[in-house]
Copies of this chain bind each other. A is one copy, B any other.
């Protein structure tokens, strides 16, 4: 009870990169609805046993802010989601005051150099994206520090929810932190997701990459996270079709049924879908979707295909059809097909809240580096491991049981201190 009370006193910040996008909009209105008890926390696994028994930050104590590179209003995003029949006007009304507050905490971010021509881009974001990498990092880190100070936050978790960046060839400077620092000093341009992750980690924030962009996945930033004692996780939220895939594929494998072909067709009509019409942006996404499958089935002759098509009328309602052709005993040919139909943003938002709570918890416990126990949340978990969803999820349950068996109140002290002093704009590699 004392612990409960002390937990309640903690204020945790969520800093959303892409804060006016549709996932962020669902996070904002969803949190408001949960707080006013007009919505149930459906879709969050951290509200169920055994995770619910961990002393995670309370949903009521989360404070939302963020960066965006588009000038449009959070209300405009919400109105779109009402038209798509994801949000309702009732939910909007109930959350008005709260969402105004969130709106006031959104700052202009930096735009990826390859996305400068993006329609609707905020000129200020383009201008910031044209400054040196160090300047961009300083701006981002400054916004984070201001957020922490102004809102009197005990800790901050940065979540990348921005649209997928264009894929890039591997750079030598990503391999080691020292090289990355040198490249930044020389002013060599970097993907925006790397700059955000760098700023977040240096600033003592936990970091979650929900997108297929690079973020903290490059070795240089993993090194930085280790050095700074920061937990981080990613990449690419496993919300829909890939989730089902990684649930079903192990069944074929367990039963030694030979999958001959697995064709996956995804249709999407929101901003993310639009950006994925561009081949460079689509590449990373498709790679993750296919790799998960191949890793589970391990059959070199498997014929697999994943497509994503932009279908404007579907908006956020991702619809996917998968066809699995397999061989059974006696050479018989059988099939399983499924159609998934769900709101991508409403599926993603609760996972974001789960990850924020878990990342904050790891930060409190002094766990540093890749959060291997979160692999069930991602299409391409940066800590590696298998893609079999049920086994990944078992890892999370085991993590919870382990912590429940050995509570460590002392450990919660240190990070608080660290997160407070961890602020400022020191170059972490000099620490």
Does any Cβ of B come within 8 Å of A399's Cβ?
no
Digit string of A249-285 for contact with B (CB within 8 Å is 1, else 0)? 0110011111011010101000000000000000000
Question: In chain A, residues 87-123, which have Cβ atoms closer than 8 Å to a Cβ of chain B?
Answer: 87-91
Digit string of A21-42 for contact with B (CB within 8 Å is 1, else 0)? 0000010011001000001011
Q: Please tell me if the beta carbons of B336 and A338 are within 8 angstroms of each other in the complex.
A: yes
Does any Cβ of B come within 8 Å of A155's Cβ?
no
What is the chain B residue whose CB lies nearest that of A304? B311
Nearest-CB distance from A52 to chain B (Å)? 10
Q: Please tell me if the beta carbons of A332 and B86 are within 8 angstroms of each other in the complex.
A: yes
Choose among A39, A88, A313, A327 the residue with the greatest number of B CB atoms under 10 Å from its CB. A313
Q: Please tell me if the beta carbons of A330 and B248 are within 8 angstroms of each other in the complex.
A: no
Q: Please tell me if the beta carbons of B85 and A85 are within 8 angstroms of each other in the complex.
A: yes
A314 contacts across to B, CB distance below 8 A: 261, 325
User: Within the assembled complex, what's the spacing in Å between the Cα atoms of A346 and B184?
Assistant: 59
A331 contacts across to B, CB distance below 8 A: 39, 42, 88
Q: Please tell me if the beta carbons of B26 and A329 are within 8 angstroms of each other in the complex.
A: yes
User: Within the assembled complex, what's the spacing in Å between the Cα atoms of A346 and B33?
Assistant: 29
Does any Cβ of B come within 8 Å of A163's Cβ?
no
Q: Which of B327, B343, B390 contacts A332 (CB 8 A)?
A: B343
Given A42-B256, A303-B313, A325-B311, residue A338 in contact with residue B341 (CB < 8 A): no
Does any Cβ of B come within 8 Å of A334's Cβ?
yes
How many copies, total? 4
A75 contacts across to B, CB distance below 8 A: none
User: Within the assembled complex, what's the spacing in Å between the Cα atoms of A333 and B337?
Assistant: 18
Nearest-CB distance from A85 to chain B (Å)? 4
Q: Which of B82, B254, B263, B393 contacts A311 (CB 8 A)?
A: B263
User: Within the assembled complex, what's the spacing in Å between the Cα atoms of A311 and B259?
Assistant: 12
Does any Cβ of B come within 8 Å of A48's Cβ?
yes
Choose among A87, A390, A391 the residue with the greatest number of B CB atoms under 10 Å from its CB. A390
User: SS class of chain A's interface: helix, strand, loop or mixed?
Assistant: mixed
What is the chain B residue whose CB lies nearest that of A254? B393
Question: In chain A, residues 146-178, which have Cβ atoms closer than 8 Å to a Cβ of chain B?
Answer: none
What is the chain B residue whose CB lies nearest that of A312? B303
Q: Please tell me if the beta carbons of B251 and A247 are within 8 angstroms of each other in the complex.
A: yes
Does any Cβ of B come within 8 Å of A335's Cβ?
yes
A26 contacts across to B, CB distance below 8 A: 329-330
Q: Please tell me if the beta carbons of A328 and B313 are within 8 angstroms of each other in the complex.
A: no
Q: Please tell me if the beta carbons of B248 and A244 are within 8 angstroms of each other in the complex.
A: yes
Q: Please tell me if the beta carbons of B39 and A330 are within 8 angstroms of each other in the complex.
A: yes
A339 contacts across to B, CB distance below 8 A: 335-339
Does any Cβ of B come within 8 Å of A350's Cβ?
yes
A88 contacts across to B, CB distance below 8 A: 82, 85, 89, 331
User: Within the assembled complex, what's the spacing in Å between the Cα atoms of A388 and B243?
Assistant: 16
What are 19 contact pairs spanning A and B, CB under 8 A?
A26-B329, A26-B330, A42-B329, A43-B255, A43-B257, A44-B329, A82-B88, A88-B331, A247-B250, A251-B389, A265-B307, A267-B323, A319-B323, A321-B321, A328-B343, A329-B349, A330-B343, A335-B340, A336-B338
Beyond the given pairs A250-B390, A303-B312, A335-B339, 13 more chain A to chain B contacts, judged by CB atoms under 8 angstroms and listed by A's residue number, are A39-B330, A39-B331, A41-B256, A47-B256, A82-B88, A244-B336, A261-B313, A265-B307, A329-B350, A332-B346, A334-B341, A334-B343, A336-B340
